[in-house]
Homo-oligomer: A and B are copies of this chain.
Amino acid sequence: METSTTSNPNVPNYPRIMIGLSRGQEEPDASLVAAEARELGYDFIILPIAFPNYRRFLFEQLVDSVDIKETKFMEEWRKGQPFCREDLVVKNAGQVSNWINLDSLDYNIRINSEVILRQQLTWIGHIGITAALIPFPSDSFMNYARCINSIFGTVSYINMWIKIPLVLEDETLGSKETVTWERWNKFRTLCENHVRLSIVLEVTQNLPEDNILDRWFAEPIKAIFLPTTIFLSNAKGFPVLSKRHQAFVRKLIKYKPHFVIECAADGPNHASGGLSAYQEYVHHLHRTMPELTPVEQFALGYHDFLQSPLQPLMDNLESSTYEVFEKDSTKYALYEKAIHHALLDHTTGSEEMILEAAEKAQKRVRVYAIEKNPSAFVTLQNKKAEIWGDKVTIVFSDMRSWKAPEKADILVSELLGSFGDNELSPECLDGAQKFLKADGISIPASYTAFISPISSSKLHNEVAAYKDLAHFETPYVVMFQSACELAKPCQIWSFEHPNRNIAVDEDGNPINNYHNTRYSKMTFNIRESGILHGIAGYFESILYKDIMLSIHPDTHSIDMLSWFPIFFPLKIPIYLPSNTVLDINFWRLTNSHKVWYEWCVDPSLPLGYETVSFSPSAIHNSLGRSSWIGL
């Protein structure tokens, strides 16, 4: 499903949800069930592919039989005899028989299960339904995984949705709360991380802790099963969900899955409302979702969409890019506030909000607006002619090479990227600070980059789809949705302006750029196991004194739209067991014509008194071979 604007005025921006009905494996009559479901307000039904009686084939075996005819029949069936019409429940969608046993110790049951699985999935593929529901893997599932993997190779276009309960209730070993994710993770890895293998998540009566629940948001969830048994009864006997279940379902709605009410064949479990009450309740949760914030609304079309970061020094931005930025009233308000305070403390400044700030501060200032983009310079000329007049001197120049007619008290710039320094703000401001007075102020005064380890099979697949090394060594600007932070962000480095501690030539220009290189190693404690797919990056900036601008998740400036986070991928995803100690090494490097990042990760596991290091990743983007920002 793609994002679409909804026609329901009560649910602005949330896509319509589809709620289906499942009545287990024992349905007697598909058309009756379908008619009933339609009447009860459900959008679709889920049915088994074959009637339970088909199970008889599981126990058939070839013997060197006295009855050659019997033997031949079985062999023909194994070779691909069609279903008998009367064995098929579903003519248009379906659930693989849950009694097949691909990892049986009995060789014949294994062989027959594979025949049946292939037969049912081939049927699903044939009738043009793109997804089949396949059972949750039991304790042993190597052969099951092998069969599913091989079916991807033969049945074109088929999607398989594997049904996974949040909590495994009858497990005797291990943590019940984490075992289902571990099993899913192993299963999909065995299946080569196939993009057509997705999840149907079955919500259980018991919900795991939030950080275990969060892990699922990094996974390809296509549908949510809500068994009627997990619903409570309200005072009037109608089905309702607990507060935690409500919150989880509301969070899931943002990921646009299908919902399925799963009901035993003998009907609903609640006194009032009948079967339709369940779908009505889920629709109610959907209708009463909180309104989207401006950032959420803005982000709707961008979720998990990889964009290359800007190259503001090498390229000139297009006007549409400026237009997006100019929608961001939060950013401008923060800048205005910072300038206002700086003017109160000091004298003089450089653009539109500077004038407003100056007026508020009732100071007389001379403003120079320096612009290197010839097209944007036209806009400045219009502004000057129509609004600013003599209050602003506009200058067409790169700030690094401009010869200022006088030294400034305040230098205002907005050259920040999603990682703070990744659009070369440090280099630009080093070049510009020569026309700042000795006690002059830079707005921003500093900025700090943050990183955190992140899991997102979706983003990994997006990058992998390019099938080359370069895309795995490129950072992307991306609004995370199907992603899960494996640990909280840590700061890795900062830049402060003006930076008087650098060597400059006779003209006041830095004689090299070594002082803007950085190296940092951060250590993260990974609480729950997960797959590491890359590194998320954020920044905080102090504009002036206590006025901060931030895209760090914990301190994000309210309603600010201008920056999405940045994502540094890893070539090879790494499984991190719970309690992994993860070192992330990050470099900011430079030569005479470019700046680039290199990164690598180095996990280890405490084992008694020792620390067992597993293999680290390779160092990514050596010498900026795949991605760099031009000076």
Q: Which residues of A contact B (CB under 8 A)?
A: 62-65, 68, 71-72, 75, 78-79, 110-111, 142-143, 145-146, 149-150, 152-154, 174, 182, 185-186, 189-193, 500-506, 511-512, 514, 517, 519, 521, 529, 531, 572-575, 577-578, 585, 587, 598, 600, 602, 605, 607, 610, 612-619, 622-623, 625
Contacts and interface: CB of A to CB of B under 8 A. Distances in A.
A63 B501 CA distance: 8
A614 B111 CA distance: 29
Contacts of A174: 610
Contacts of A615: 185-186, 189, 531, 573-575
Given A503-B65, A521-B142, A190 B616 contact: yes
A597 to B, nearest CB: 11
Nearest to A574: B615
Contacts of A618: 149, 189-193
The A interface, classified by DSSP as helix, strand, loop or mixed, is: mixed
A528 to B, nearest CB: 12
Nearest to A469: B192
A79 B591 CA distance: 10
Contacts of A529: 612
B585 A505 contact: no
A280 to B, nearest CB: 42
Given A186-B615, A577-B612, A512 B78 contact: yes
A142 B600 contact: yes
A96 B574 CA distance: 34
A71 B503 contact: yes
Given A192-B619, A503-B62, A618-B192, A613 B182 contact: yes
A502 to B, nearest CB: 6
Given A174-B610, A619-B190, A146 B587 contact: yes
13 contacts: A65-B503, A78-B514, A110-B519, A142-B519, A142-B521, A150-B622, A153-B622, A153-B623, A153-B625, A529-B612, A573-B615, A577-B607, A578-B612
A283 to B, nearest CB: 39
Contact of A189 (B152, B504, B506, B616): B616
B514 A62 contact: yes
Contacts of A517: 111
Contacts of A514: 62, 78, 111
A186 B602 contact: yes
A623 B154 contact: yes
A65 B501 CA distance: 11
A78 B590 CA distance: 13
A192 B615 CA distance: 12
Nearest to A610: B174
Contacts of A189: 615-618
A623 B150 contact: yes
Contacts of A152: 622
A321 to B, nearest CB: 33
A619 B191 contact: yes
A62 B260 CA distance: 67
A145 to B, nearest CB: 6
Contact of A143 (B72, B519, B607): B519
B78 A619 contact: no
Contacts of A75: 503, 511-512
A591 to B, nearest CB: 10
B512 A62 contact: yes
A626 B572 CA distance: 22
Nearest to A620: B192
Contacts of A64: 500-504
Closest 3 CB pairs of A and B: A575-B615, A192-B618, A577-B612
A497 to B, nearest CB: 16
Contacts of A531: 615
Nearest to A72: B511
Contacts of A79: 512
A535 to B, nearest CB: 15
A182 B612 CA distance: 10
Contacts of A616: 186, 189-190
Contacts of A575: 614-615
A607 B150 CA distance: 34
Nearest to A576: B614
B511 A613 contact: no
A500 B71 CA distance: 16
Contact of A613 (B186, B503, B598, B622): B186
Most chain B CB neighbours (cut-off 10 Å) among A142, A143, A145: A142
A506 B517 CA distance: 80
B610 A607 contact: no
Contacts of A110: 519
A581 to B, nearest CB: 14
